[in-house]
Amino acid sequence: MNQGWRFDTIAVHAAQKPDEKTGAISQSIVPAVAYAFPDTETAAAVVSGSKEGTYYGRYGNPTTRTLEQKIAQLECGEDSIGLSSGMAAISSALLAFLQHGDHVVVTRDVYGGTYNFITLLAPRFGITYDFVDCTDADIVRAAIKENTKAIYVETPSNPKLTILDLPMVASVAKECNLPLIVDNTFMTPYLQQPLELGADVVVHSATKYLNGHGDVLAGFVVGKREVIDFIRKRIAGDLGQNLNAWESFLILRGLKTLGMRVRTHCDNAMKVAAYLNTHPQVAAVYYPGLATHPQHELAKKQMRGMGGIVSFEIKGGLEMGKAFINRLQLAMISFSLGDPETLVQHPASMTHFSIPKHERQLFGISDGLIRLSVGLEDSADIISDLEQALLMIDTTLSERAR
C-alpha cells in the first residue's frame, strides 16, 4: 500500500483505512476474546492457519493485527507480533531459537531486564550464554560454539550508547548460519532498520518511543513470517503474552507522530550533549552525535539520527551524581525513556542494579553514570534545568577545594 511513500506517510497510513461500515478514520477497538464462525470447517481453517482470521484472544486481535502490519512495514519485515511488554518480545524472540542445551552470544552491555532473562531465567531452560564485545568481529567469532543458536545485540547499547556495526555482526552470523536478533528500541525504525542491514529479527519495547506517551506497556518482534507464526502459536500464545486491543489502539495513535517526535528528541539531545560536553563539572559524555564518541563515524553511516538518549558522568562520582539528579526540577527521576517528558535515572542503582557491580564495571557502567532521556520540551528549558543542578556541583566542589 505504501506506493513509494516516505516514512512519515507510512507511519500515518500503513495498514489503516476508514472503517468499511461507519467510515470512521480512527482505528476501531475490538476487545473481544472469542470469535464466532459460520461453520466448523471455517473454524478449523482459521485455527490451522490455512485461512486468515482470529479465533481466540491469546493468539490475536483485529486491532492488534492492524498495528502488527504497520510495524512490519515500518521495519521492512514480513510480519510482526505485538506482545504485552518489551521483555515479552525479548524473551519470545530468544525462545524462538533457543531450547535446552543451546548457547547464545550476547553483546556485553545490554538492558538490565535482558541481562536478568539471560542469566537467571534462560539457565532454567538449560540455555547457556556468553557476553562478548560485539564491536570486534573476531571476538564474536571466537565466542561461537557448536551449540550456539543465536546472536543477540542492541545498538546503541543501554546505557553507554555503544554502536555496533550491524552489517559486520550480520556477516559473522551468516557465516555461522545463525540468526541475528537486534533490539532496536533506542533507535526506532525511523532512525535505523536492522533488517535492511542484515539482521534476521528485530525486537522493540514499544513502551518507549513507538508509543511515545508513557501510558502503554508493549513489545514487538519483527521478522520472517514463519518465525512470527511460531512465536504466536507456540510461545506468546501458550505463555499468554498477548497485547490487548486498547493498548494497540494507543500505539497506533502514537505511531502517527513517531517521525516528528523522534526528530525533536534527536535535536534536543544533540543540544544537550553539546552543552554537557563543554561543562567543567562533566567528566564524560556518551552520545553518538558527538565527534568524540568512539563510533561517531559508524553512527553517521548506519543511523539516520543519533537518538534521544544522552549518558554522562558527573565529576565527584556517585555522591555528586545522585546530588545532581536530586537537584533537577524539570527532569523527572524514572526508569523509562522515550516519553514527552525528560526523564533521568542512575543506571547502577536503578535499571542495571541487578547486574553485579564487578560485571557492571566490565560493561562500563560506573557508579557515577547518569542516563538522560531527553524529552520534547524546549531545549533551552532542559539545558537551564541541567545548568542549575550543575551549579550546585560546582559550588560544592569549590568549597571542598578551599
Residues labelled as active-site residues:
58, 111, 183, 208
Q: Which residues contact 5 (CB under 8 A, 6 or more apart)?
A: 13
For residues 355 and 365, the answer to whether their CB atoms sit within 8 Å is yes
Query: What's CA 395's distance to the chain center, in Å?
Result: 38
Q: Which residues contact 162 (CB under 8 A, 6 or more apart)?
A: 109, 135, 155, 156, 295, 364
Q: 333-342 burial, b if ≥16 CB within 10 A, otherwise e?
A: eeebbbbeeb
Rounded CA-CA distance 286/250 in Å is 32
The conformation of residue 34, written as its DSSP 8-state character, comes to B
The secondary structure of 301-369 as a DSSP string is HH-SS--SEEEEEETTHHHHHHHHHHH-SSSEE-S--SSSS-EEE-GGGTTTTTS-HHHHHHTT--TTE
Q: How far apart are the first and last CA of the chain?
A: 68
Counted residue by residue, the chain has a size of 402
Q: Dig out the grid coordinates for 366 from the structure.
A: 560506573
